[in-house]
Structure 1
Amino acid sequence: MTTHLSYVPQKSGAEFEELVPSRYALRIGEIDVLVVSDGVLPLPTETMATNVAPAVRAAWFKDMFLGPDMFDWALNVLVVRSGDKTILIDAGLGGQFPGFPRAGLFPKRLEAAGIDLASVTDIIVTHMHMDHVGGLLVDDVKKRLRPDVRIHVSATEVDFWGTPNFSQTAMPTPVPDVLRTTATEFLKVYGANLQTFAEEREVAPGVVARLTGGHTPGHSVVHVTSGGERLTFAGDALFPVGFDHPDWHNGFEHDPEESVRVRVRLLQEAAATGELLVATHLSFPSVGRVALDGEAFRWVAASWDF
């Protein structure tokens, strides 16, 4: 006997509620953390493992029930409340890029969560790829952010995008130019708001951005620590394939070899501490822990608390 679940959408104002939850709240000690889905965007599977044979890559995607040629890449951003500060960590893709109708959703999802963009005091940018800063270039977002919002990004990242080097990447053909123009526009719009740091910056009590490099020279992760608990937002240091094959290169990595070293150190640290881990491109809500599995790692998704 087959049971069919019927869903009757309930109206919320003039719009229907979403069938699938798009935000997930948790507490790290005394700090509030909200994971928000910016949506998904389609990517070629070949960009996820550029240093292995196509058949090996195809077998992994088949085992994961993904592909064979394209798959949906999750986009997650964080909102953190610590003390009197409300901190946005990355800002998704934005809606200005054609061909990605299911991404750039974080502004309306923040609004649905009751979070006013005008309440954001600080923004941490893990790196300046378009799917991390593009959301800040949407006209409605620019109008709603407070003019004195502080944007924290590593000085190395800002310097890199002055003359970016794509020689070690393997991106789809149009992407480098779009990345370059988006980063340039971001610096033009928000240059006066930038608060750059060298190695790390405590943005609020228990909220620390730390330079890792690798994915981009100035890529950073964010540690949220309170009450003996810790959560790390890994940005793009980690992709879904990285647990089974941390040595596989991603086509968007500007320094693939360094990215592997950063990824392995991050996963080893998370396995040793038992901390929670969230990453931009792990399937929403992207909250879990890491366990050692021989020379590889195993992702242990956290149980939803509701």
Structure 2
Amino acid sequence: MSTYFSKCSHSLLAVAVSVGWAATVQAELPTQQQEQAPGWFRMLVGEYEVTALYDGHTAIDTSLLKGIEQDEILRHLDALFIDAENGMQTAVNAFLIHTGENLVLVDAGSAACFGPSLGQVESNLRASGYTSDDVDTVLMTHLHPDHACGLTNENGEAVYPNAELRVSQADADFWLDEARAAELPEEERDFFVIAQEAVSPYQKAGRFSSFTPGDELLKGIVAQDTHGHTPGHSSFMLNSDEDAMLVWGDVVHSYGVQFADPSVAIEFDSDPEQAIRTRESVLESAVADKHWVAGAHMPFPGIGHVAKDETGYRWLPIEFGPVADNK
């Protein structure tokens, strides 16, 4: 009997010590951390190094999607576990391309134009191992603020002082036309003013030029016409060795809806019908050619493939892994 109680005493003591130790450890736990890791992701496209740079996120109200009923929007989003109660969370991404001869940035992010949840392109570029001085070319898919505000700092100076800024001729003709902007109501003028201020230091430094669809802007980087979202919206096809990637800008804003139904437009499209035709064509080509896609508003890192399904398309995001294994 005494042996039994002795064993029980030892067991209870062990439990007490264990509970006490656990409570001590629990009391010493640090507070939960709210920060994420730096937002960059790197892969190879042939011999070209592509680094996705996270600018941040914003929320888009579902009412901005056009040509579809709200209950249908919610059905698509619910199927992907996307909570849209406070708007659809939408990433903003830029892409850095090291060709071996040039360091090229596609789009510059939003800087301070849309609040504290955005504006991280330059800091993530530095975290990825480069500096803004290293960039020799900036290619713009279009001149909307969430892509162009990051071209300048709070003092109106060029963030990429050694870079040639290149914009499609059609977008330059539209957004940089001061006479056109002056004729608009004040509430419609902001996007024009932002675009003009963003490119101004590059123009003054003689580092601004335009391009047209089909131009080979640098070796292996060709501009493609994907207008509709803006008059000169462009995408860039990278070709290196046997590999290819289309950096497609704003072809898709809501992956939860527009892959399932490409006929859905968004309020910001300057020509919604053309934007729909462009999206359908680009998605079909991505399926047929099986090339990589990099999207400004796809969930970070915004890189993946497009597949066809029974009714529309599906987004197949890249998996995290060693750079060379992502070729």
Map 1:123-134 to 2 at 5 A. 123-134=138-149
Judged with a 3 Å threshold, the aligned counterparts in structure 2 of structure 1 residues 228 and 180 are, in CA distance, closer, same or farther, namely same
Secondary structure at the residue paired with 1:52?
coil
Q: TM-score if structure 1 supplies the norm length?
A: 0.85
Judged with a 3 Å threshold, the aligned counterparts in structure 2 of structure 1 residues 152 and 8 are, in CA distance, closer, same or farther, namely farther
Specify the alignment match of 2:267 in structure 1. 251
The answer on 1:228 being equivalent to 2:228 is: no
The answer on 1:145 being equivalent to 2:157 is: no
Give the Å deviation of 1:222: 0.8
Judged with a 3 Å threshold, the aligned counterparts in structure 2 of structure 1 residues 185 and 134 are, in CA distance, closer, same or farther, namely same
Judged with a 3 Å threshold, the aligned counterparts in structure 2 of structure 1 residues 282 and 144 are, in CA distance, closer, same or farther, namely closer
Give the Å deviation of 1:175: 7.5
Secondary structure at the residue paired with 1:247?
coil
Map 1:35-184 to 2 at 5 A. 35-47=52-64, 49-64=65-80, 65-95=82-112, 97=113, 100-139=115-154, 142=157, 144-147=159-162, 149-161=163-175, 162=177, 163=180, 176-184=188-196
Give the Å deviation of 1:69: 4.2
Give the Å deviation of 1:250: 0.9
Secondary structure at the residue paired with 2:298?
coil
CA distance in 2, matches of 1:114, 1:174: 42
CA distance in 1, matches of 2:124, 2:146: 16
Judged with a 3 Å threshold, the aligned counterparts in structure 2 of structure 1 residues 44 and 144 are, in CA distance, closer, same or farther, namely closer
Give the Å deviation of 1:8: 7.9
CA distance in 1, matches of 2:69, 2:115: 29
The size of the alignment, in residue pairs, is 284
Deviations 1:30-53 (A, max 9, x none): 111000100111221211x22212
- The alignment's C-alpha RMSD in Å is 2.6
Give the Å deviation of 1:18: 5.0
Q: Which runs of 5+ in 1 are unaligned?
A: 1-6, 10-15, 168-172
CA distance in 2, matches of 1:73, 1:212: 21
Specify the alignment match of 1:12 in structure 2. none
Between 236-245 and 115-124, the greater mean CA deviation after superposition: 236-245
CA distance in 2, matches of 1:201, 1:17: 44
Q: TM-score if structure 2 supplies the norm length?
A: 0.80
Judged with a 3 Å threshold, the aligned counterparts in structure 2 of structure 1 residues 141 and 28 are, in CA distance, closer, same or farther, namely farther
Q: Which runs of 5+ in 2 are unaligned?
A: 1-28, 323-327
CA distance in 1, matches of 2:287, 2:167: 27
Higher-Rg member (1/2): 2
Give the Å deviation of 1:288: 1.0
Give the Å deviation of 1:302: 1.9
8 Å CA contact 2:62, 2:84 repeated in 1: yes
Judged with a 3 Å threshold, the aligned counterparts in structure 2 of structure 1 residues 35 and 280 are, in CA distance, closer, same or farther, namely same
CA distance in 1, matches of 2:98, 2:110: 22
Identical aligned pairs, as a percentage?
Answer: 26
Between 268-277 and 50-59, the greater mean CA deviation after superposition: 50-59
Give the Å deviation of 1:186: 2.2
Secondary structure at the residue paired with 1:278?
strand
